[in-house]
């Protein structure tokens, strides 16, 4: 079935859609999840209900990812499954895999809404027309933690990445609007706010002020009233952002959660150069984090790792792993490289065989698992953690502490923690890769 890419949005009302219900499935990165959450909130405010299963919804939204060819294959399978489950539903596919750089048609989908037109979906069940102008610089919240997106798009063009062609050039939200939004979220009771963007290294204000400038002013605005009562968490940062200014800020901040996440991809400079990510020197990172360790006695450090990139030799893989061992990583997300048509890396010579990629990814995951377990064990020595628990997340209830470790609390104790609040909890034991806790 051929589906036009830019069919005008159909205005629907809750009454017109069967059951007045929608179902959202989100693939891929945090930004996609945040945007899905913004859609969820907007549609609920427009009188729609969220269905737990696609078969109970009149509108099914698939928020797709195009980072790898495997993600696109997953998307095709998902849409086929949703079409079988909900033959009458309008199935809308948006996100990075929906044209123009991604798929032009997709069997089973009613229509494709390109990433750049996604903001129009905010307005799907109402006629107020504001959403497109406001775009996705909205804060989105699960019911406990809020996310403030201050930057979108990317102009960098890493060799494996489709993001610049689907999300457009880098752009930043005006700092006054971001600060105002943080204050609004605090007034609404949120006590953890995640500061996010597609590429925070590209964040710029008029006058050329960068991400650290923004954070410094935000800190000065918030800390007098909120230090110790609420926290900010930084989402993924580029390794090149960790310079002396960053260190000075991290050392003095009273608002930041002690948790950083690196979009590292590889620890081998030659691999990074082929990825077109030669703008940072991974060798500078161990020293930076040693210096940070003198300021932050305990912190979580994560990394995104891509292995099996074209041309990655055994020596490069080993030297990259050696660099990782010299970093105080406490967890990592590991991705074996998969060819993404339309990116320069897809046509590069020296594609690495599937077996080798799998073996390298397995070694990285084993390393990451070991680090995570050791870190979680070390948290058992912390007398009190402060976790934000999700509402209604089942029994035991799950939450996230300042060190980005998942905390569980039993149903019998759940009444003693307040939603959105920073709840003091005592870690008791490990349960898988989470901490079993009780109210402190």
By CB under 6 A, how many residues form the interface with ligand SF4? 9
Nearer to ligand SF4, 192 or 312 (CB): 312
Question: Among 74-82, 84-92, 156-164, 291-299, which window interacts with ligand SF4 (CB under 6 A)?
Answer: 156-164
Question: Among 22-30, 161-169, 278-286, 395-403, which window interacts with ligand SF4 (CB under 6 A)?
Answer: 161-169
Nearer to ligand SF4, 105 or 304 (CB): 304
Nearer to ligand SF4, 166 or 323 (CB): 166
Residue 339 lies near ligand SF4 (rule: CB under 6 A) = no
Residue 156 lies near ligand SF4 (rule: CB under 6 A) = yes
Residue 102 lies near ligand SF4 (rule: CB under 6 A) = no
Residue 28 lies near ligand SF4 (rule: CB under 6 A) = no
Nearer to ligand SF4, 152 or 402 (CB): 152
Minimum CB separation of residue 161 from ligand SF4 in Å reads 3
Residue 159 lies near ligand SF4 (rule: CB under 6 A) = no
Residue 144 lies near ligand SF4 (rule: CB under 6 A) = no
Q: How many angstroms separate the CA atoms of 158 and 164, rounded?
A: 9
Residue 164 lies near ligand SF4 (rule: CB under 6 A) = yes
Minimum CB separation of residue 160 from ligand SF4 in Å reads 7
Residue 241 lies near ligand SF4 (rule: CB under 6 A) = no
Residue 161 lies near ligand SF4 (rule: CB under 6 A) = yes
Instruction: Verify cis geometry, omega within 30 degrees of 0, for the bond prior to 405.
Output: no
Nearer to ligand SF4, 106 or 198 (CB): 198
Q: Which residues in 368-397 contact ligand SF4 (CB under 6 A)?
A: none
Residue 154 lies near ligand SF4 (rule: CB under 6 A) = yes
Q: Which residues in 192-231 contact ligand SF4 (CB under 6 A)?
A: 198-199
Nearer to ligand SF4, 156 or 365 (CB): 156
Residue 158 lies near ligand SF4 (rule: CB under 6 A) = yes
Nearer to ligand SF4, 201 or 357 (CB): 201
Residues that bind ligand SF4 (CB under 6 A): 154, 156-158, 161, 163-164, 198-199
């Amino acid at each position: 079935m051929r589906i036009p890419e830019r069919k005008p949005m159909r205005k629907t009302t809750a009454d017109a859609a069967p059951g007045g219900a929608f179902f959202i499935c989100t693939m891929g990165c945090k930004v996609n999840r945040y945007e899905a959450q913004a859609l969820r909130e907007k549609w609920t405010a427009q009188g729609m209900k969220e269905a737990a299963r696609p078969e109970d919804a009149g509108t099914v939204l698939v928020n797709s990812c195009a980072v790898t060819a495997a993600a696109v294959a997953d998307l095709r399978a998902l849409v086929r499954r949703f079409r079988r489950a909900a033959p009458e539903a309008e199935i809308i596919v948006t996100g990075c895999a929906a044209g123009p750089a991604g798929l032009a048609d997709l069997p089973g989908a009613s229509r494709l809404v390109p990433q750049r037109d996604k903001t129009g979906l905010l307005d799907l069940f109402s006629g107020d027309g504001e959403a497109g102008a406001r775009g996705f610089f909205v804060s989105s919240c699960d019911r406990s933690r809020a996310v403030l997106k201050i930057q979108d798009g990317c102009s960098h063009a890493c060799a494996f990445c489709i993001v610049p062609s689907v999300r457009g050039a880098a752009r930043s939200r005006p700092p006054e609007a971001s600060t105002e939004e943080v204050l609004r979220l605090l007034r609404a009771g949120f006590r953890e706010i995640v500061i996010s963007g597609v590429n925070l290294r590209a964040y710029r204000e008029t006058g050329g002020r960068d991400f650290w400038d923004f954070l410094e002013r935000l800190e000065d605005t918030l800390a007098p009233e909120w230090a110790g009562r609420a926290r900010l968490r930084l989402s993924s940062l580029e390794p090149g952002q960790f310079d002396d200014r960053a260190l000075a800020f991290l050392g003095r901040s009273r608002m930041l959660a002690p948790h950083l996440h690196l979009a590292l991809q590889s620890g081998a400079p030659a691999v990074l150069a082929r990825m077109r990510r030669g703008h940072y020197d991974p060798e500078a990172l161990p020293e930076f984090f040693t210096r940070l360790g003198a300021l932050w006695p305990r912190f979580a450090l994560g990394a995104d790792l891509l292995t099996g990139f074209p041309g990655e030799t055994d020596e490069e893989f080993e030297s990259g792993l050696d660099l990782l061992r010299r970093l105080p990583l406490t967890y990592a997300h590991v991705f074996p490289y998969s060819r993404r048509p339309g990116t320069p890396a897809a046509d590069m010579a020296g594609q690495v065989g599937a077996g080798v990629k799998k073996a390298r990814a397995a070694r990285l995951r084993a390393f990451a698992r070991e680090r995570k377990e050791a870190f979680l064990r070390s948290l058992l020595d912390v007398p009190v953690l402060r976790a934000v628990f999700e509402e209604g997340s089942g029994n035991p209830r799950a939450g996230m502490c300042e060190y980005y470790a998942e905390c569980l609390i039993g149903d019998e104790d759940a009444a003693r923690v307040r939603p959105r609040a920073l709840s003091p909890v005592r870690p008791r034991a490990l349960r898988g890769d989470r901490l079993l806790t009780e109210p402190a």
